[in-house]
Amino acid sequence: MTDADFVRVPNFLAHDELRPGQDEMIEAAHEAFAGSGSHLAAAPTGIGKTAAALSAALDVAAMSPNRRIIFFLTGRQSQHRIVVETVREINSRRPSEQRKIGLVDLVGQQSMCIDEIRFEFSSLFSRLCAEKRSNRKCIPYLQESDGLQLKVLEDPLHVSELVEVARKYTQDGRAKPTCPWKVAREAASSADIVVCDYNHLFHDRVREASLKAMGIDLGEVILVVDEAHNLPNRITQGMKRVLTSDLILTARLELEEYVETLEEASDDAANLGTHRMRRTLAALERIRTDILAWMRVQSQALVKEDSDESRVPNSDLLEVLNSALQADLEATPLRLDEIAAILSEVRIEIDPDLDEDKDSASERLSELLNLLQRLGESSALALVFSHGVGDSPKVTTHLLDPGIVSGPIFDAVAGSLLMSGTLTPPEMYGELLALPKERHLTMREYPSPFLSDKRPVAAAAGVTSQYNRRGAQNTKKIRDHIHIILQETPGHVAVFAPSYALLNEIVGEEVWHGRRVLMEEPGWSKNRIDALLRDLEMARSAGERILLAGVYAAKLAEGIDYQRNLLDAVVCIGLPLAPPSEELNARKEYYEDRFGRERSYRWAVQQPAVNSVMQAMGRPIRKMGDRAFILLLEDRLLQPRFRRLLPENLNLLTCPDVDTTRRHVKRFFKRHPNPAVGTE
């Protein structure tokens, strides 16, 4: 047998048979992990990408001579549960004499808390938690957790199950409620897999704290990033900061309160620590005075230009800040990073009724100054000044290059797999996230074995969300297509639009006979979403049909798994192209410099919009047996400039009129009249 004839048999499988394409994904991921490289997988729902990723990662970890821990990162708790269930399936197939795979599921500290402080406002919780732990007043945190850690590692638990087990934990017949967050973090060092949010590795402060507490080195991590199309935006949004004069004032008042508290507790009011804090107080006062004067000039320029916002050179703001620091009468003025370090030490009580931010003003200003110190001279950071009606003048930071944050992480880990159904095109995400090219780097778009039959996609001509083509006639055509879908579809139908305003105009102002309408609202909580899913289940059981209406990139279009084939059809209205803004202009300019003119507009504007539509299209198909009809009400997707942005293997049906739409829908549900049964 030659090397070419050798076929590697995966040792960690969740099912008896591999699905079409799954074996190829396992092999590609295995090569990436084994070669300390990266693989980008645009893998559609139903291919079994979670099982494939875990199979390859566990194989490589088992054969590695060095310690390896798999970090499975995902932004959705529903995906956490899928990972846990997959590992349980793998364990059920392992021989009794072999060790089971150990998994730790981890979310935010407050979400895992079992103390009464978990009900506090988020801006107050972390301080109360830190205070109770440091003063040894948190009984669950003080409990020894070795026995519970072993239980967690022996039997993978979803985070909600871990919280419940920890709350009811008993030892020697006595109740010993134990902190689930502590249990998870301490058990992680002995686990094979850690399931957590992106922030645990891609937020500097969280990563440093988490890995240190877990006793894990970044170089020991085999990294799997699920729904990886979200990672660039998560990184850039995580680096977004807002500077106002009120922020500086509030941070100064917090620091002053903190200094006074320290001085009252100390006999030596002139010690070095409080002296530097007093100097910082004076510096903040000068900074605020100078920032106010600078912002008045910027506001006058906006009024003169009749504009809402403007891009300001980074050097201008840095000059204002550094000039205020240089006015210090002492020989060596404080630097921005020193001011930031002092502000990060501030500990004060926050009134949640007055402050809705998660962090104190001191923490927010500290992070902003650190960001300016780190990237202020880089073109990857854009500063936008704005002054809306009734709003205070502000400067907002926009990170244009997520690769600055992610590149060093991917370079440090032992290997990585990035996967998503909409990781299209993979090379774009490889560039944006700065995956190391000197290492093994592969990418592939995997075909779906069933979508052309079980999820046909039709696009209507003559309808659009393009602003200059909107009007009564366009709206009527869109509604006519939706009416046809509703008439011919036996179950629930979801409709997604680019904005709440357009959604309300098209769906909210129309009567939909025979349908109960559920309209998404901004800021829906997890509890509201869970209630909605239960409502959909109960309505289907009762024979009631629902029209579900949501917005691209919001909760209903991207953050939910509609299991058990809850949706029979999805209608996608228009394209959610980003509106003109100074941030978008800065991003296009930066992309042009880095990636070239041809890619600039495509990657900054067009592809994100198309990928949002693709995410919405994928909502009804969550497993192999699911079926649904998809209708795109946007004729620009039939044009070459946008058609080329869709996956190559997506075959679009064209609907020139509503009669054609009716024929396609009718024929589809005649072939597939019933939703899939079960969750597998």
pLDDT tens, position by position, 598-609: 999 999 999 999
Query: Helix crossing, 77-92 with 49-63: angle to 10°?
Result: 60
Domain of 28, CATH number, reads 3.40.50.300
* Domain presence at residue 1: no
382-396: pLDDT as tens digits = 999 998 666 789 999
Give the pLDDT confidence score for residue 1 in this predicted structure: 39
Q: Are 310 and 428 in a shared domain?
A: no
Residue 197 near residue 73, CB atoms below 8 Å: yes
Q: CA 342 to CA 252: how far, in whole Å?
A: 11
Q: CA 382 to CA 387: how far, in whole Å?
A: 17
* Domain presence at residue 14: no
Q: CA 241 to CA 575: how far, in whole Å?
A: 28
Phi and psi angles of residue 569, each rounded to the nearest 5 degrees, phi first: -155, 155
Give the pLDDT confidence score for residue 680 in this predicted structure: 55
Q: Are 113 and 167 in a shared domain?
A: yes
What single-letter DSSP state applies at residue 507?
A: I
Identity of residue 349: E
Give the pLDDT confidence score for residue 495 in this predicted structure: 98
Residue 415 near residue 36, CB atoms below 8 Å: yes
Measure the CA angle with vertex 439, ends 438 and 441; round to 5°: 110
* Domain presence at residue 79: yes
- Three-state SS string across 535-582, please? HHHHHHHCCCCEEEEEECCCHHHHCCCCCCCCEEEEEEECCCCCCCCH
Return the structure tokens found at 400.
């244009």
Structural domain span for residue 387: 245-392
Q: Are 481 and 434 in a shared domain?
A: no
Please count the structural domains in the chain. Answer: 3
Alpha helices in 306-402 (DSSP H): 314-326, 336-344, 361-375
Q: CA 180 to CA 107: how far, in whole Å?
A: 10
* Domain presence at residue 11: no
Does residue 383 sit in helix, strand or coil? strand
Return the structure tokens found at 464.
């659009």
Residues of the chain with pLDDT under 70: 1-8, 123, 267-273, 349-358, 388-390, 449-452, 678-680
Does residue 182 sit in helix, strand or coil? helix
- Smallest CA-to-CA distance from 384 within 370, 374, 399, 369 is with 399
Q: Are 197 and 120 in a shared domain?
A: yes
Other beta carbons within 10 angstroms of residue 28's beta carbon come to: 20
Alpha helices in 266-360 (DSSP H): 272-305, 314-326, 336-344
Q: CA 423 to CA 38: how far, in whole Å?
A: 14
Domain boundary among 356, 371, 392: 392
Q: Are 384 and 410 in a shared domain?
A: no
Does residue 258 sit in helix, strand or coil? helix
134: enclosing H helix or E strand: helix 122-134
Return the structure tokens found at 612.
């949002």
* Domain presence at residue 12: no
Q: Are 71 and 95 in a shared domain?
A: yes
Phi and psi angles of residue 393, each rounded to the nearest 5 degrees, phi first: -60, 145
Separate counts of helices (H) and strands (E) for the chain = 29, 20
Q: Are 477 and 624 in a shared domain?
A: yes
Domain boundary among 392, 412, 429: 392
Q: Are 536 and 588 in a shared domain?
A: yes
Q: Are 508 and 653 in a shared domain?
A: yes
* Domain presence at residue 27: yes
Q: CA 321 to CA 351: how far, in whole Å?
A: 29
Return the structure tokens found at 193.
């897999």
Q: Are 527 and 608 in a shared domain?
A: yes
Q: Are 546 and 478 in a shared domain?
A: yes
Identity of residue 163: V
* Domain presence at residue 349: yes
Residue 477 near residue 656, CB atoms below 8 Å: no
Give the pLDDT confidence score for residue 4 in this predicted structure: 43
Q: Are 193 and 321 in a shared domain?
A: no
* Domain presence at residue 2: no
